[in-house]
Structure 1
Amino acid sequence: MIDLDSHLLRAFLAVAEIGTVSGAAATLNRTQAAVSMQLRKLEDLVGVKLFSRSSKGLSLTEQGRIMLPYAREIVTLGDEAGKRLTGKTIRDRIRLGVVEDFAAGHLIEILRNFRDQNPDIEIDIIIEPNRRLAELFNNGALDVAVCDSTCLPRKPTLTWTEYLMWTVRSDFVVDAGKPLPIIMFEEGCPWTIPTTGALSQRNIKWKTACVASTLVAMATAVRVGIGIGPMITSTQPEGCRTLDKSSDLPGPIRIEIGLYNQPEIAEGARYLVEFIARHAAMLPA
């Protein structure tokens, strides 16, 4: 039997999130030597290397990635038990910024469960485009942000893979003799480049049939039948479908969504981040 000390696990989680012992030490209010010792003790305890070390910092090994969700679960459950036994509840207000495409899909169930379990935590949900969310986060106007991982030059707490699917109205017919009418993201959107790049790689004749600045605009243009829109499956509107492979379009476009939190956040925001991490199975693989 392995007795996993929560103090060791907290050090492990901090280093896994930040990527350096010095950064983790500052967050935990411990010395670098203490954090390094705790990591070594944990690795000795489990009998495997949890981090690979380089001049750029520390990154999780395969065994470290296996340990990560268990460490989060153990630490969070311990915190929850303490709160329930003492009758303590968290009262806080969180500024959560979410890209519209993600807020309309996978995150709803997680936030609903969080709210049901933490009725005294208020959440201000700010829906903005990816780059605007990054700007707000960098300016300290958000506690937590969920946006495209290319928009923020820092390591996310968690990352999920999403795919943009070529979406059309159910009765839409592709005319092979004409350029494909593509509903394109606005120029500043980080998904514009991979979308146009995927089309260019296949040497496909296409045209911009419409520019959509929001998810609602994209969904409306698709439902009206203006053209083909790249959309996350969970946001595809009713009466629409994904084009099959026979359309000669490139495959689904891979994008990465990251969860970010400020280095110093209130207890409620920290608990929300941990809650999302614990329920990551509800999110895309």
Structure 2
Amino acid sequence: MLNLDPYLLRAFISVAEVGTVNGAALSLHRTQAAVSMQIRKLEGLVGSDLFERSPKGLTLTADGLLLVPYAREILTLTDEVGKRLNGRQIEGRIRLGVVEDFAATRLIDILRDFRDKNARVDIDILVDSNARLAAMLENDELDIAVCDTSRCSRKPVHVWNEYLHWVGRTDIEFMPDMPLPVIMFVESCPWRGPAMATLATRNRNWRIVCEASTLVAMATAVRVGIGIGPMIAATIPEGCRALDRSIDMPGSARVDIGLYVRSGAREESRFLVDFVLRQVELGHA
């Protein structure tokens, strides 16, 4: 019978998220030697290596990746049993920063379900630019951040791969001999570069007719019919459609959105991160 000690599993999950034993030790308030010993003990119990070691840090092996969702579930059940037996609920306050495109789509259902189960946890939600969110996380002004991975120096605990599609009003038409009217993100946005790169994939002239600084601005400009703009699928507004399947339209651009947690974050923040990751692993996010 395999007995997996939650104490060892917490060390394993922390190392998997942070990518280094030293970083995990700081997060867990333990010594580096203690965390290293716990990982070696867990690997001995399961009979295989869970991490590949390199000068850049640790990465999960195939067996490590397999263990992650089970470890999270075991830890969640352990925590919930303990709280029920002790008559205690998670409580506190979380400072959450989210890029606008995710605040308006993916996170709504997750946060609703989390609040339904954890009514004593208050959540401050800040919607801002990718650069601003990354800076606030680095300065410990946020507990959790969801932003573009190109703007954050630390390792995300999860990455969503999204695609920017060129979107226009359903009835919009383009003359073949006229430049494409393009609605573009402002220069400070990390998605501007990938979006503009797709314009070079088609032998067609284009010009920027509008710059949008927010999702609301982009959606408004597209719905008005000013031109076509890059948007992730979940944010395409009513009355509009993705155009990049057309042979003479530019293709989609990939952007990576990371879920980050502050080092040394409090219990309620870690609980929300684990909740989000479980939803991802269950295919609900």
- Paired with 1:23 and 1:36, the residues of 2 have a C-alpha distance of 12
Q: Secondary structure at the match of 1:282?
A: coil
Alignment check: 8 A CA contact 1:130 1:190 kept: yes
Q: Where do 1:265-280 residues align within 5 Å?
A: 265-280=265-280
Alignment check: 8 A CA contact 2:27 2:265 kept: no
- Structure 1 match to 2:89: 89
What's the CA shift string for 1:161-189, capped at 9, x where partnerless? Answer: 11111111111123221111111000000
- Paired with 1:271 and 1:40, the residues of 2 have a C-alpha distance of 26
- Paired with 2:164 and 2:267, the residues of 1 have a C-alpha distance of 35
Structure 1 counterpart of 2:211, one-letter code:
V
- Paired with 2:129 and 2:33, the residues of 1 have a C-alpha distance of 41
Q: Secondary structure at the match of 1:125?
A: strand
What's the TM-score once normalised by structure 1's chain length? 0.95
What's the CA shift string for 1:176-225, capped at 9, x where partnerless? Answer: 21111111000000000111112124444211121010000000011111
| Equivalent position to 1:282, from 270, 281, 284 | 284
- Paired with 2:19 and 2:81, the residues of 1 have a C-alpha distance of 29
- Paired with 2:164 and 2:22, the residues of 1 have a C-alpha distance of 38
- Paired with 1:29 and 1:154, the residues of 2 have a C-alpha distance of 19
- Structure 1 match to 2:48: 48
- Paired with 2:154 and 2:204, the residues of 1 have a C-alpha distance of 35
Alignment check: 8 A CA contact 2:244 2:250 kept: no
Structure 1 residue runs without a partner (length 5+):
none
Distance 1:190 1:22, change over 3 A: same
Alignment check: 8 A CA contact 2:165 2:244 kept: no
Greater displacement, 203-212 / 99-108:
203-212
Alignment check: 8 A CA contact 1:106 1:282 kept: no
- How many residues are treated as equivalent by the alignment? 283
Q: Is 1:207 aligned with 2:180?
A: no
- Structure 2 match to 1:184: 184
- Paired with 1:16 and 1:168, the residues of 2 have a C-alpha distance of 41
- Paired with 1:282 and 1:218, the residues of 2 have a C-alpha distance of 27
- Structure 1 match to 2:196: 196
Identical-pair percentage: 58
Greater displacement, 182-191 / 12-21:
12-21
- Paired with 2:47 and 2:165, the residues of 1 have a C-alpha distance of 43
Structure 1 residue runs of 4 or more that deviate by more than 4 Å after TM superposition: none
- Displacement after TM superposition at 1:27 (Å): 2.2
Structure 2 counterpart of 1:70, one-letter code:
Y
What's the CA shift string for 1:54-94, capped at 9, x where partnerless? Answer: 01111112222222122112112211111122110122111
- Paired with 2:244 and 2:143, the residues of 1 have a C-alpha distance of 40
Alignment check: 8 A CA contact 2:26 2:263 kept: no
Q: Is 1:39 aligned with 2:69?
A: no
- Displacement after TM superposition at 1:139 (Å): 2.2
- Structure 1 match to 2:134: 134
Q: Secondary structure at the match of 1:72?
A: helix
Q: Is 1:19 aligned with 2:19?
A: yes
Distance 1:20 1:87, change over 3 A: same
Q: Secondary structure at the match of 1:163?
A: strand
Structure 1 counterpart of 2:197, one-letter code:
G
What's the TM-score once normalised by structure 2's chain length? 0.95
- Paired with 2:186 and 2:227, the residues of 1 have a C-alpha distance of 15
Q: Where do 1:112-151 residues align within 5 Å?
A: 112-151=112-151
Structure 2 counterpart of 1:61, one-letter code:
T
- Displacement after TM superposition at 1:269 (Å): 1.3
Alignment check: 8 A CA contact 2:43 2:50 kept: yes
- Alignment root-mean-square deviation, CA: 1.5
- Paired with 1:47 and 1:252, the residues of 2 have a C-alpha distance of 44
- Displacement after TM superposition at 1:47 (Å): 2.7
Alignment check: 8 A CA contact 2:98 2:125 kept: yes
Alignment check: 8 A CA contact 2:165 2:253 kept: yes
- Paired with 1:29 and 1:2, the residues of 2 have a C-alpha distance of 27
- Structure 2 match to 1:4: 4
- Paired with 1:246 and 1:25, the residues of 2 have a C-alpha distance of 51
- Structure 1 match to 2:80: 80
